[in-house]
């Protein structure tokens, strides 16, 4: 009879371990997309990191001297004084594979518009960003380059 509680405990432990999905373990690991990325036009560096519900988000971490400093093109006039530095311009990306994140958005401060977007790590230091309206076919692709935090001074 003492064997029955031990078997029950073993069964519960096995069931608990098997119910823990590989996706749950993957969500705890850092994404290779996380880090600092120099935009294609080399006018800004975007810091990509995990955010709410384990999605990826990106924030302006550096702006070229003389670059846009305030969100003056935002359609909401109350946000025209909002600083670009630290602004969340990427968000809501969900992981499709270890190197692909989809169904997110990019806010383009240059024109004050928000677009659908997908991210793909095409090489260890190259990020493909596809911004679009409606379907991905109707969009524009940029390639960003990974940069080291020590190579620039973050904006304040």
Residue extents of the structural domains in the chain:
32-151
Cα 91 from chain centroid?
6
What's the angle, vertex CA 136, arms to CA 101 and CA 144, rounded to 5? 55
| Residue 149 pLDDT class (50, 70, 90 cuts) | confident
Report the pLDDT value the prediction gives residue 36, as an integer from 0 to 100: 97
Mean pLDDT score of the chain, rounded to an integer? 84
Mean pLDDT confidence for 111-115: 96
DSSP assigned state of 83 = B
Mean pLDDT confidence for 53-71: 94
pTM: 0.79
Mean pLDDT confidence for 27-49: 89
Task: Considering the domain delimited by 32-151, tell me its CATH architecture.
Answer: Beta Barrel (2.40)
Distance CA 96, CA 91 (A): 15
């Amino acid at each position: 009879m003492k064997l029955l509680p031990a078997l029950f405990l073993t069964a519960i432990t096995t069931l608990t371990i098997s119910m823990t999905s590989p996706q749950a373990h993957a969500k705890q690991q850092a994404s290779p997309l996380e880090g600092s990325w120099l935009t294609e036009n080399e006018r800004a560096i975007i810091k990509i990191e995990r955010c709410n519900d384990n999605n990826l988000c990106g924030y302006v971490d550096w702006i070229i001297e003389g670059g846009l400093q305030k969100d003056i093109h935002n359609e909401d006039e109350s946000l025209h004084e909002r600083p670009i530095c630290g602004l969340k311009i990427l968000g809501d990306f969900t992981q499709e594979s270890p190197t692909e994140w989809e169904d997110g958005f990019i806010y383009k401060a240059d024109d004050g518009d928000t677009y659908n977007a997908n991210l793909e790590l095409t090489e260890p230091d190259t990020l493909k960003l596809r911004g679009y309206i409606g379907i991905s076919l109707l969009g524009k692709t940029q390639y960003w380059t990974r940069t080291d935090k020590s190579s620039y001074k973050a904006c304040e």
